[in-house]
Amino acid sequence: MSNSSPDTVTITASNPAVKVRLSPGVKRLFGFIVPVNLGIYIVVGAVPGILLPLQIQGIDEANKAANLAIVTGIGAFAAMIVSPIAGLISDRTRSRFGRRTPWILGGAIATGLTLFGMGFANGVVQLVIAWTIMQITLNLMISPLTALLPDRVPSAVRGAFSTLVGIGMMVGILGGQILGASLASDIQAAYLILPGLMIVIIALFVVFCPDTDSRSRVNEKFSFVVFLKTFWVSPRQHPDFFWGFMSRLTLYTGYFIITGYQLYLLQDYIGLGDGAVALVPVLGLVHLVVIVVALAFAGPLSDKIGRRKPIVIGAALLMGISMLAPMIMPTVTGMFVFTAICSLGFGAYMSVDAALMSEVLPSEGTFAKDLGVLNIAATLPQTIGPFLGGAIVVGLGYIGLFPVAIALAIIGALCIAPIKSVR
């Protein structure tokens, strides 16, 4: 596969034995991708995992589950719509700083300002508005950032790059949970410190890992039809992309049904009450350790053996198995077992599936847009998950969440099998 970016080298991705020599630009990209994702996902870990649920609980504790579903569901719906649009805009951007840099930096600054304002919200409606804006600005940054993998990383080392992306994400999420818990008594300070850290890291990244000048690019003439295609990749023309999309959609829905209610599961299903907040970062530490092991092993292994599908299928099934633990053991031990096994599967799935999907993207000229469409499979579950989870909790109680999540994980594994262009 040949990639046009000056930061990449020509390689043969189908030969797992090939030795890839990375240029200085790609090496810097490898060096910065962990801190960049760390900075972003500290925010992602702290806000929806700790700070937002506590804000909602402080407003109306009796209806906290329903209100959390409303706030996060509406925000995730906005993210789902914005993600491919942000990708389309990024793909078509012509500037001396490249296609991605203006949106990555601008999105980081806008997200920081939004979170600062969110710290002063004192009603559910205000939180809905602030969280929705934050989801929009966050995706203006993340959609172009995800395009760096197919844009600038040689195919034969995409598993390793995905591993570093995943490590930055997971360490960031855990760090966010720890910082969020430690700053829980001063939410306004948390909403100032966390995005400030993110903006500094992003600024360093765009300076040391600059994109190539895109002013000479020739884009397809914009039209309403082009805009509508932002949200669509034909399953008939690109069946492998479709099956990968469906795998993410179903697996992530099952995952968010459980993790989206983690704090309330610990409080009410496990019975920890106010002690649940302190256990979240402890579970996060277990999650981090196990997922880093999975990421470090699975991504490079898929590069070495030249196979992605068996690892992705096995990882999805492992996640489904993990959800039996808290269903059978509604205890702290059950939650620790679930966290450890699920993290092992999720880490392997995340790193290898990212590399797999980068090899079935429909067009080199629309990487960010197509990844934005793919990102719907990760953001739509954040819309479906809270509403579906809320309905399940109301009708069946918290224990009803687990069988549904298991079934969705199995479907996610089965969707990988029909993919033909990747082994």
What are the residue ranges spanned by the domains of the chain?
A: 24-211+232-414
pLDDT, residue 24, reads 83
Nearest to 54 by CA among 180, 165, 152, 243: 180
Q: What CA–CA distance (Å, rounded) separates 280 from 173?
A: 11
pLDDT, residue 2, reads 34
- For 244, 341, 358, 414, the CA distances from 418, given in Å and listed in that order, are 9, 26, 17, 8
Contact 299, 352 (CB under 8 A): yes
Q: What CA–CA distance (Å, rounded) separates 89 from 109?
A: 18
Q: Which residue has the tokens 């966050």?
A: 138
Q: Which of 46-60, 154-168, 325-339 has maximum average pLDDT?
A: 325-339
Q: What confidence tier does 226 reach under pLDDT thresholds 50, 70, 90?
A: low
pLDDT, residue 203, reads 94
- For 172, 227, 299, 374, the CA distances from 119, given in Å and listed in that order, are 20, 35, 38, 31
pLDDT, residue 373, reads 75
Question: What is the second-level CATH architecture of the domain 24-211+232-414?
Answer: Up-down Bundle (1.20)
Report angle CA 206, 35, 358 to the nearest 5 degrees. Answer: 75
Contact 284, 334 (CB under 8 A): no
SS3 content of the chain, % helix, strand, coil (to 5): 80, 0, 20
Nearest to 138 by CA among 173, 97, 109, 118: 109
Contact 380, 76 (CB under 8 A): yes
pLDDT, residue 27, reads 87
pLDDT at 4 over 60: no
Least confidently predicted of 23-32, 35-44, 190-199, 374-383:
374-383
Helix or strand holding residue 332 (H, E): helix 332-358
Q: What does 143-195 look like in DSSP terms, one character per residue?
A: HHHHTHHHHHS-GGGHHHHHHHHHHHHHHHHHHHHHHHHHTTT-HHHHHHHHH
Contact 280, 177 (CB under 8 A): yes
In this structure, the chain runs to a length of: 423
Q: What CA–CA distance (Å, rounded) separates 277 from 284?
A: 11
Average confidence score pLDDT of the chain: 83
